[in-house]
Structure 1
Amino acid sequence: MITYYNRKTKKYEIENVAGDKYLNWVYSSPIGMNFLELFVKKKLFSKLYGYYCNSALSKHNINKFTKKFNIDMKESIKSVKDFTSFNDFFTRKLRSNSRPIDMNNNVLISPGDGRLTVYQDIDMDKIIQIKGFTYKLRDLIDDNNIASNFSNGTCLILRLCPTDYHRFHFIDNGVCNKTQRINGDYYSVNPIALKNIPELFCKNKREWTLFHSENFNDIICVEVGATCVGSIIQTYTPGKLIKKGQEKGYFKFGGSTTILFFKRNTIYIDKDIIENSKSGYESKVKMGEHIGSKIDNL
Structure 2
Amino acid sequence: MTGASQDVRRRAGWLPAEQAHLESWLRGQRERLAEREPDQELHPAVAAFRDLVEGDPVLRMQANEMIAQVPTSRQYAERHLESLDELLALVDEVIRSAPEYGDEQMVMTPLDGVLDWTKATPAGFAFYRDPRVNAALREILDSWCTFLSSPMSADVIVDTPSGWRSDAARRAVGMDQFQHDPDDPHWGFSSWNDFFTRRFRDGERPVADPDDDAVIVSPCEATPYRIASDVHRRDEFWAKAEPYSLDELLAGDESVDAFVGGTVFQAFLSALDYHRWHSPVSGRIVRAWVEPGTYYSEADSQGSDAAEPTLSQGYLAHVATRAVIVIDADDPAVGLVAVVFIGMSDVSSCVIGDGIEPGARIGKGDELGYFQFGGSTVCVLFGPGVVESFSLEAIPQAPHEEPVLLHVRSHLATARRREEQPG
TM over 0.5: yes
Q: Could you tell me how far apart the structure 2 residues matched to 1:176 and 1:243 are?
A: 10
* Equivalent residues of 2:275, 2:371 under 8 A apart: yes
1:264 positional shift: 0.7
Q: Which residue of 2 aligns with 1:176?
A: 285
1:59 positional shift: 1.1
1:47 positional shift: 1.3
* Equivalent residues of 2:248, 2:319 under 8 A apart: no
Selected match of 1:42 from 112, 137, 162? 137
Unaligned stretches of 5+ in structure 2?
17-21, 23-112, 304-308
* Equivalent residues of 1:188, 1:226 under 8 A apart: no
Tell me, yes or no, if structure 1 residue 205 matches structure 2 residue 321. yes
Q: Secondary structure at the match of 1:70?
A: helix
Identity %: 22
1:168 positional shift: 0.6
Q: Could you tell me how far apart the structure 2 residues matched to 1:113 and 1:19 are?
A: 19
Greater relative contact order (Cα < 8 A, sep 6+): 1
Q: Secondary structure at the match of 2:207?
A: coil
Selected match of 2:197 from 78, 88, 91? 91
Residue pairs, 1:235-254, within 5 angstroms: 235=353, 236-238=355-357, 239-254=359-374
1:32 positional shift: 7.1
- How high is the TM-score relative to the length of structure 1? 0.81
Q: Could you tell me how far apart the structure 2 residues matched to 1:287 and 1:130 are?
A: 31
Q: Which residue of 2 aligns with 1:9?
A: none
In structure 2, what residue type is equivalent to 1:53?
Answer: L
Selected match of 2:412 from 287, 291, 294? 291
Q: Which residue of 1 aligns with 2:377?
A: 257
Q: Which residue of 2 aligns with 1:101?
A: 207
Residue pairs, 1:130-145, within 5 angstroms: 131-143=240-252, 145=254
Q: Could you tell me how far apart the structure 1 residues matched to 2:411 and 2:260 are?
A: 25
In structure 2, what residue type is equivalent to 1:15?
Answer: R
Q: Which residue of 1 aligns with 2:11?
A: 15
- Of structures 1 and 2, the larger Rg is shown by 2
1:237 positional shift: 3.2
Q: Which residue of 2 aligns with 1:214?
A: 330
Q: Could you tell me how far apart the structure 1 residues matched to 2:175 and 2:268 are?
A: 21
- CA offsets 1:87-130 (integer angstroms, 9 cap, x no match): 00011111121102111322221111011222122233238689
Unaligned stretches of 5+ in structure 1?
5-13
* Equivalent residues of 2:394, 2:406 under 8 A apart: no
* Equivalent residues of 1:28, 1:196 under 8 A apart: no
* Equivalent residues of 1:27, 1:196 under 8 A apart: no
Residue pairs, 1:46-57, within 5 angstroms: 46-57=141-152
Q: Could you tell me how far apart the structure 1 residues matched to 2:363 and 2:244 are?
A: 32
* Equivalent residues of 1:118, 1:273 under 8 A apart: no
Closer, same or farther in 2 for the Cα pair 1:34/1:197, shift >3 Å? farther
Q: Could you tell me how far apart the structure 2 residues matched to 1:151 and 1:42 are?
A: 34
In structure 2, what residue type is equivalent to 1:200?
Answer: L
Of 280-289 and 108-117, the range deviating more from structure 2: 280-289
1:85 positional shift: 0.6
1:33 positional shift: 6.3
Closer, same or farther in 2 for the Cα pair 1:157/1:65, shift >3 Å? farther
Q: Could you tell me how far apart the structure 2 residues matched to 1:37 and 1:129 are?
A: 13
Tell me, yes or no, if structure 1 residue 234 matches structure 2 residue 352. yes
Closer, same or farther in 2 for the Cα pair 1:259/1:194, shift >3 Å? farther
1:196 positional shift: 5.4
* Equivalent residues of 1:179, 1:208 under 8 A apart: yes
1:271 positional shift: 6.0
Q: Could you tell me how far apart the structure 2 residues matched to 1:242 and 1:126 are?
A: 32
Q: Which residue of 2 aligns with 1:110?
A: 218
Aligned residues: 289
In structure 1, what residue type is equivalent to 2:349?
Answer: S
Tell me, yes or no, if structure 1 residue 78 matches structure 2 residue 78. no
* Equivalent residues of 1:130, 1:194 under 8 A apart: no
Of 139-148 and 248-257, the range deviating more from structure 2: 139-148
Selected match of 2:342 from 214, 219, 224? 224
Q: Which residue of 1 aligns with 2:40?
A: none
Closer, same or farther in 2 for the Cα pair 1:208/1:53, shift >3 Å? same
Q: Could you tell me how far apart the structure 1 residues matched to 2:230 and 2:322 are?
A: 24
Tell me, yes or no, if structure 1 residue 167 matches structure 2 residue 276. yes
Closer, same or farther in 2 for the Cα pair 1:154/1:62, shift >3 Å? farther
Q: Could you tell me how far apart the structure 1 residues matched to 2:363 and 2:253 are?
A: 29
